[in-house]
Each structure stands twice: as C-alpha cells, then as structure tokens.
C-alpha cells in the first residue's frame, strides 16, 4: 500500500491497475500537474547551478525550455520570473556590470532563484 498525493489523506492504493476508469482519470490529472511542477522546480534548480557557474545563457535556455513545456506552471511561480530575469540580464549586460549590480542589490543566486537552504 502507498499514499497517493492525489487522494485525500489516509486513503491508500494497492495497485494502480485495478482503479476504475474515473479513478485513473482523477489521479492522472493530479499526477500530471505534480509532474509538471516537479519538472519546473528541477529545471529551475539546474538553471540555478548554471547561473552560479556564471553560464547565464545555459541558465536562460533551461528556463525557456521549462516555459515551453509547461507555460501555465512556469508563469504561476514568481521564482521562475526572477530566475529568468536574472539569467537574461547576465546574458545581455556586460559581466563586470552584472556582478556589480548583483552586489549592489544584495542578490546572489540563492535569493534570485528562491533556493533557500535551511
């Protein structure tokens, strides 16, 4: 038995195969959204790693790919907007000026990308 995030707390599934057609449809919609959100979060994390390595083009390309795969999920998360803006600014603004602006704003990748540890 396992917990399924698409079901109310305490409800468990033995296997997915014996579910009714309606159950599969219900879980499919919830699981698909969870999968899109997970993809968006992981992509943002990989973009953060690229940003920290000062590979702003790679970071922006990763975020753009996430936007193309799931526009609604991407646009609904403010962290994606900030990450895309920071990455794009790293591409179009000279490196020295970009570093200075980050410093003046008190921003680092953790703040911009919303990856607060601890």
Which residues are 3's β-sheet partners? 12
Q: What is the pLDDT along the chain (118 residues), one digit of tens a residue?
A: 344 444 455 544 444 344 455 555 666 667 778 888 888 999 999 999 888 888 999 999 999 999 999 999 999 999 999 899 989 999 999 989 988 888 887 766 555 666 543 3
Report the C-alpha gap between 113 and 17 in whole angstroms.
39
Rounded to 10 degrees, the C-alpha dihedral 47/73/111/50 comes to 0
What distance separates the 2 farthest-apart alpha carbons in the chain? 60
């Amino acid at each position: 038995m396992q917990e399924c995030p698409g079901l109310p707390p305490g409800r468990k599934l033995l296997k997915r195969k014996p579910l009714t057609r309606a159950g599969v449809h219900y879980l499919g919609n919830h699981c698909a959204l969870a999968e899109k959100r997970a993809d968006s979060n992981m992509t943002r994390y990989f973009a953060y790693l690229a940003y920290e390595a000062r590979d702003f083009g790679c970071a922006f390309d990763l975020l753009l790919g996430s936007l193309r795969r799931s526009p609604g999920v991407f646009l609904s998360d403010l962290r994606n907007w900030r990450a895309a803006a920071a990455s794009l600014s790293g591409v179009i603004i000279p490196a020295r000026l970009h570093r200075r602006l980050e410093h003046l704003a008190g921003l680092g990748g953790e703040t911009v990308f919303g990856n607060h540890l601890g």
